[in-house]
Copies of this chain bind each other. A is one copy, B any other.
Amino acid sequence: MTSELAVVGQRVPKVDAIVKATGAARFSVDIRLPKMLHGRMLRSPHAHARVLHVDASRAARLPGVKDVLAFPDVPRVLHAGQPEPRAGSCARDQYILDDVVRFAGDGVAVVAAISEEIAEEALDLISVEYEPVPAVFDPEAAMLPGAPSLHGTDRNLVIPPFIVQSGDVERGFAEADYIFEDRYETSRHVPCYMEPNVCVCEFDAGGRLSVWTSTQAPFMVRGSLSEVLGIPMDRIRVICEHMGGGFGAKQDLYQLEYLCALLARRTGRPVKMEFTRAETFIAGRSRHPVSIELKQGVKRDGTLTARFGRYVANSGAYGSHGAGITRVGTSALGSLHRCPNVRVEGYCVYTNTPIAGAFRGYGAPQSFFALESQMDAIAEKLGMDPVELRLKNALQPGDRGPSGTPFINCHLPDCLRKGAELIGWAEKRRAPILSGPKRRGVGVACQLHSATSYPAVKEAAGAVVMLNEDGTAQILVGAADLGTGTKTILAQIAAEELGVRYEDVRVISGDTDVVPYDIGAYASRTTFIAGGAVQLAAAQAKKQLLALAADKLQTPAEELEARLGMIRVKAEPARTISIKEVVGPVRGAAPHSVIGEATNTPRNDYSFAAQFAEVEVDVETGQTQVLRMVAVHDIGRAINPTSAEGQVEGALQQGIGFALMEDMLIDAETGRTLNANLVDYKTLTALDMPQIEIVLLESDDPLGPFGAKGVAEDGMCPTAPAVANAIRHATGISMKQLPITAERLLDALYNQEGPVPD
């Protein structure tokens, strides 16, 4: 008898590695249909204006133009990123097209033509009469009385203030030996996924709508289109076979899905709408720029006595995921360390700027930047080592967060210790290079992140497992694979549970016609929740399989086990039968049908991480180079370590960019985006990447499939504060605004007087 895992934990190649590497994989952007039209959108140059009149007559006369739509031509229905299931996280404040534009880039009209070029040309022929109205770009200004109102809400708030409180903050501050107060600011960080947003819609002669789109949540798209266009769900098919990334932004809907479907319905032809790279910036979804006021009280020994945080997120012109993000980000601001008295307040504010939305970390990276930056200020003041201070305050298994959330499987202290050891913390902290133009420093920061959207949103993930007659298997899963390797992970889980080989499992996802419901690739939930559904469905199938094998082996099913395509008697490993022999056809008989299905139930769990950065700062140019990152992640079981490491590695690329360079800039006068391209918006290239060491601190989580927790978002949550703390170590300067560009750091270095002023 063995209980070793045969497939889970293996570094198997991705199921779609070859088709992706060879260019054979079909992405939504690759879809080309006969007689397909191309749609392009006219966008507002004004940050806030009434649209008095749209004259599309000249555009409509351009040869090749088949349809033009403006706000009077489309249903006046408020649409949301998701309808009801995400009402707790998503606003419902945007019309398909409106007679008001609320940011420079807001949609005004759309053209369908026989080529993209003609559609683009037609946009210039549309005359729009705007009446500009005052705009507001800053959230604090937007909350003031008399500020221009975007949606008629109190203080331009997307949701009422979100407050988490535990203990008595005033008393906590009174008990403190020291009080620290800082204000932190983060940037407009853009996900820069490879595949621009794209949508192809086609109605068949029977009125069924097929939608190929690049989405993390095919069922969200189906549900929203069904509601907004009034088409029953069984008549809408949403397909996303392969996907070039999303990072959260593609768990929202853009106008293009509705408009594409409307154009297809009106013209009777397939219509494709694809964002330009510029549109992925201007009309995409950035991370929320957040300003955080953070005040903490500590005892001389480093014990936290109180924390007050004020989290103000700039939602831009519409709410998108702002409600959920403000909840998660504000909650994160109250978390991570043991603190008896906490009050955190979250504000999500409309401004006349591009829309912020979901992006890896979902509001938490901003909070950890503030929290973990201030922890280093505290350590310095107390003369404590930053790792020691964190260990002293780290969450322990059994602790609860300020809102009562239990942390059951928590290995944060181990992450800190392991990372410190690997980076050579003790030695490097003792001897920072503080002379010469190039100065080196090391910094640390931690994070925690929930695997799922539960309890904010009730989870649902379905899976169906069907055994083929030759012992291979088909798995239908609702979960989408946004390029992260979902299908690979789910194939491993199915293979392990079912007892077949990895290569004998075929995972089908991304087609709402044939897979069971799944809320979408939100949060860091897919392995945890969808993986759990696959495990449950496979277990159900295995039960049927072992019952059939019990007959053939003349042994009770409980005494059998399935592994790598064979079933054997546990006590007599030589007595085996292949799964093919069990289920396959024999002369005159049909094969045995083995089908399992399951929907996973709502649950949640938290992953933890400590990251260590080593940087070199050129104090003559202000340029920071990250030399090395050590990332230690407590993620439960790694179903596929290569895949989990890949998630962390990709997140580090985004996290370092968030720390040092990435920021979509808005013109302070017009509200227009200044760097909506990959030349002026800088991200780390392969050459900019530091040496990376990733350690997966594995444990057997009691809730996840084969002990797995989430990992997708965690990798970037502590990166920016780790880098900022390393810069502080190298230079003595605490940078409180992201990104820490050379310009900003040089400015701070010029103004530096002696030790850091905290």
Contacts and interface: CB of A to CB of B under 8 A. Distances in A.
Interface of A: 16-19, 21-24, 83-85, 87-88, 204-207, 219, 223, 226, 232-235, 456-460, 462, 464, 466, 468-470, 472-474, 476, 503-506, 508, 511, 513-517, 519, 584-593, 595, 597, 599, 602
Nearest to A453: B590
B595 A595 contact: no
A129 B748 CA distance: 91
Given A460-B590, A462-B595, A590-B459, A514 B234 contact: no
A207 B15 CA distance: 11
A597 B462 CA distance: 13
Contacts of A464: 464, 595, 597
A84 B23 CA distance: 38
A474 B595 contact: no
Contact of A232 (B84, B205, B472, B513): B472
List the 3 closest pairs (A to B, CB-CB), nearest first: A593-B599, A460-B590, A234-B472
A508 B504 contact: no
B19 A206 contact: yes
B590 A470 contact: no
A506 B590 contact: no
B85 A204 contact: no
A466 B516 contact: yes
A88 B587 CA distance: 7
Nearest to A586: B84
A83 B85 CA distance: 48
Contacts of A83: 585
Nearest to A232: B472
Contacts of A503: 232
A21 to B, nearest CB: 8
B595 A19 contact: no
A19 B587 CA distance: 40
A458 B590 contact: yes
A469 B219 contact: yes
Given A234-B505, A516-B593, A587 B469 contact: no
B506 A234 contact: yes
A418 to B, nearest CB: 37
A22 B18 CA distance: 39
Given A206-B19, A233-B469, A590 B514 contact: no
A588 B226 CA distance: 19
A660 B342 CA distance: 93
A95 to B, nearest CB: 21
A582 to B, nearest CB: 14
A234 to B, nearest CB: 4
